Amino acid sequence: MAQKSGNITLIRFFLFLGLLGALLLPQDRVWANQKKTTTVQPKPVRWQPPAGVGASGRRTGNPPRTVLGGSRNNCAHNGDLPLTALIPQSYEGRVGFAPPTLYVYFPYDEQESYPVRITVMTADKGVIYQSDFSAPGKAGLLPIALPEDLELTKNVVYRWRFEVQSVPLDYVEGNFSLEPEEISLSLLASLAMVSPIERLEFYLEQGWWYESIHSFLTLEWKNNRHLHNILKSKIVRYNSRK
């Protein structure tokens, strides 16, 4: 129960991040080899939503059965949240240089596994990727890594759709697009050399939504004041009560 509550708090935090458009993290170092002196105070790293992007997508799926007062189908679920995509509130997610790892909150836990499908499509080409697999029957965050060899093109909006193939179908959708600016090989090499928290800070500053989400959720936060400051902030506590 504690783990599920923690998952819901994190999800609501990221949903609030997409709505507010500002995440503050203490910065211990300045990016890109800038010299730091004792007179320079650590500055906050703000989430910078990219400009010129389109709509977000379908954030939530079918309501939980507790809202409806009874079971609605074979894939009814318990809990406070329905199937939920971790996507920005009002704009498409930007990715930096590679196919992203997508995240959804998966609420179904009444059977061992569930048949699901992930689809990626474009307006011009239709479906460019589709995969069917089984998701474990465990409520929590579900990462969906798109294949590394999935070719992405600049100035193209990609729509992804995650389906729980129950009766009726439950699904969420999101959009993403590739960073339109050229990314140098030296920058990619630098990203591989810095610490995970510095990498996360860079993603936040660039407005790369999916890299930011993935980095945040895969960091080792034990005994780290960054996560403590975020989860104990008034913003998260306020949002977790909604």
Spatial contact of 129 and 119, defined as CB atoms under 8 Å apart: yes
Question: What is the pLDDT at residue 36?
Answer: 32
Question: What is the pLDDT at residue 204?
Answer: 83
Domain that residue 128 falls in: 2-240
Question: What is the pLDDT at residue 228?
Answer: 54
Question: What is the pLDDT at residue 173?
Answer: 92
- Taking only the tens place, the pLDDT of each residue in 9-49 is 555 555 545 444 433 333 332 233 333 333 333 333 344 44
Q: Which residues contact 240 (CB under 8 A, 6 or more apart)?
A: 8, 9, 12, 13
Q: Which CATH number belongs to the domain containing residue 19 in this structure?
A: 2.60.40.1220
Question: What is the pLDDT at residue 68?
Answer: 31
Taking the alpha carbons at both ends of the chain, their separation in whole angstroms is 18
Question: What is the pLDDT at residue 180?
Answer: 85
Residues of the chain with pLDDT under 50: 16, 18-49, 52-57, 59, 61, 64-74, 223, 230-242
**What would the two tokens of residue 220 be?**
């080792």
Spatial contact of 161 and 190, defined as CB atoms under 8 Å apart: no
pTM exceeds 0.75, yes or no: no
Cα–Cα distance for residue pair 205/196, rounded to 1 Å: 14
Cα–Cα distance for residue pair 103/174, rounded to 1 Å: 10
Q: What's the domain count of the chain?
A: 1
Question: What is the pLDDT at residue 81?
Answer: 80
Question: What is the pLDDT at residue 190?
Answer: 87
Question: What is the pLDDT at residue 4?
Answer: 57
Buried b (16+ CB within 10 A) or exposed e, 84-94: bbbbbeebbbb
